[in-house]
Amino acid sequence: MTDWVTGKIKKINYWTKNLFTIILNAKINSFIPGQFTKLSLIINGKRIHRAYSYINSPENINQEFYIKNIEKKGHLTPYLYKLNNNDKIMISKNASGFFTVNNIESCKDLWMISTGTGIGPYLSILQNGNYLEKFKRIILIHAVRYITDFSYINLINNLKTKFKNKLIIQIITSREKQQNNLLNGHIPELMKNGILEKKIGITINKNNSHIMLCGNPQMVYDTQKLLQKNYGLSKNLKNNKGNITIEKYW
């Protein structure tokens, strides 16, 4: 049974008409970067809750979540979207999940691949910084539909400065072509055609690479199958270490 605690909304950032960030404060237990928790509201007399990954590092006093508003079919997000400062919200006291770098063995290249709000766990991991010394290079791949969906630009730029030559960032748009340094298309296709590796200048290899996949379940499924078939990679399990770690977002 979930142990709920009451939190208070400190701030809401609206990135686009559908993408927003909730910052709240609650007395929760510590978590490992990459883990998720549950947010909950009582709606029409019924508790509605959904899982969301932490954006913030565990040492932060506030908790931060990057959310997409499912305007027509969402049971919770439309209500989260309309919250105001100082409103109350319920949050699970304990975090869950194994999408964490402490469960990954040392290797040369750590690929953090995400779509949409799936970038969240990576931002928590990178802000915290623990265990990242296990990797020589970190490649953050973030795919969005439109460039306006690319949130957290300032934070990402700060992380790039923090990690200097260790962190490589590549943005992908799927529904519009950009003339700058961005790629256009879908992650599985760009990997299958070798375009992504060529753009980054780094080759995925089962002997020195670990791939983290987070976000759209179809992207996660297709990319995982591609990595297993074309690259010989295997899923990372508790009792059978591999080089693919996944987190599906719905």
Q: Looking at the structure, do residues 37 and 86 belong to the same domain, yes or no?
A: yes
What residue type is 109 in one-letter code?
Answer: D
- Supply the pLDDT for residue 49: 98
* ∠ CA 113-143-169, rounded to 5°: 60
With beta carbons less than 8 A apart as the criterion, state whether 178 and 210 touch.
no
The C-alpha atoms of residue 57 and residue 85 are separated, in whole angstroms, by 22
CATH for 114: 3.40.50.80
Q: Looking at the structure, do residues 150 and 81 belong to the same domain, yes or no?
A: no
Q: Looking at the structure, do residues 109 and 157 belong to the same domain, yes or no?
A: yes
The two three-digit tokens of residue 132, written as one number: 């990242």
Q: Looking at the structure, do residues 182 and 237 belong to the same domain, yes or no?
A: yes
- Percent of the chain predicted with pLDDT > 70: 99
Model pTM? 0.96
Q: Structural domain tally of the chain? A: 2
Q: Looking at the structure, do residues 117 and 228 belong to the same domain, yes or no?
A: yes
CATH for 63: 2.40.30.10
Q: Looking at the structure, do residues 65 and 153 belong to the same domain, yes or no?
A: no
The C-alpha atoms of residue 199 and residue 141 are separated, in whole angstroms, by 11
| Torsion on CA atoms 124, 129, 132, 136, rounded to nearest 10 | 110
Q: Looking at the structure, do residues 134 and 173 belong to the same domain, yes or no?
A: yes
Q: At which residue do the structure tokens 């991991």 appear?
A: 125
Q: Looking at the structure, do residues 135 and 226 belong to the same domain, yes or no?
A: yes
Q: Looking at the structure, do residues 226 and 135 belong to the same domain, yes or no?
A: yes
Q: For 155-212, what is each residue's pLDDT tens digit? A: 999 999 999 889 999 999 998 877 677 899 999 999 999 999 999 999 999 999 999 9
